[in-house]
Amino acid sequence: MEGELGSGARIAIALIVIGVIISVIFVILGFTRGTTNQGITTVQNSMDSMSLAQFDDYDQQILSGTQVLSGVKLFEGRPVGTVVRTKLTSPPGAGYNYGAQFTGTSGTPPITIVIPAKAAGNNFYTLDISISTSTGSMSYNMNYLPMKASGTAPYVRPTAKFLSELIKDSTGTIVGICFTQQ
């Protein structure tokens, strides 16, 4: 009987030890999960900041024509549209849309768009990216040659000065940049 009681006590002690070990493992996993979630949130916030930082160089800045050409090419293939307004662009307020096309564009390259005036108190324009209703995809204008054709309205002179301003969509997301020759 003593042997049976001793083996029963050993089994009970083993079960208690196993329970404690499992509890410790769950506590460690819970701590690790919390730390991992915090790390993921921190990385996501950093990535969001970095994606917005790419527009810092184009927010209310005076740039040369060369920087405008580089800026247009920088966002090539991304869901970002650029509008270039030279002094020869007509009608007033119109510009040439490169990259992702905005709602309201017209023509074949060079594609033009009339940009509505900025809302009172805003230092940005409001335009939406054009999305095809049939395919659900964006249209792009990757024909940059008109910006380099000297003597034409869309020509961007390398030494000209341009004011760059952000374009946001109706949700407040930055979707483009407008370059206006000064």
Q: Let me know whether 145 and 161 are in one domain.
A: yes
Q: What are phi and psi of 33, to 5 degrees?
A: -65, -45
Over residues 64-115, the pLDDT tens digits come to 999 999 888 888 888 888 999 999 887 878 889 888 888 877 777 778 888 8
Q: Let me know whether 47 and 65 are in one domain.
A: no
Residues with Cβ within 8 Å of 145's Cβ and at least 6 positions away in sequence, in order, are 109
Q: Let me know whether 127 and 156 are in one domain.
A: yes
Average pLDDT in the 133-146 region?
Answer: 80
Q: Let me know whether 23 and 64 are in one domain.
A: no
Model confidence at 5, pLDDT cuts 50, 70, 90, reads low
CB 101 within 8 A of CB 111: yes
What is the model's pTM?
0.68
| Residue (of 174, 139, 164, 151) closest to 69 by Cα position | 164
Q: Let me know whether 151 and 89 are in one domain.
A: yes
- Give yes or no for residue 168 having a pLDDT over 80: yes
Q: Let me know whether 1 and 64 are in one domain.
A: no
Q: Let me know whether 134 and 76 are in one domain.
A: yes
Range of the domain at 31: 1-53
**pLDDT the model gives residue 113:** 80
**pLDDT the model gives residue 94:** 86
- Give yes or no for residue 46 having a pLDDT over 80: no
- Give yes or no for residue 41 having a pLDDT over 70: yes
81 C-beta neighbours (distance < 10 Å), count: 28
Alpha carbon separation from 100 to 83, 84, 87, 93 (Å, rounded): 10, 13, 23, 19
Dig out the tokens for 182 from the structure.
């000064």
Structural domain count of the chain = 2
Q: Let me know whether 29 and 67 are in one domain.
A: no
Model confidence at 52, pLDDT cuts 50, 70, 90, reads low
- Look at 9 and 147; give whichever has higher pLDDT: 147
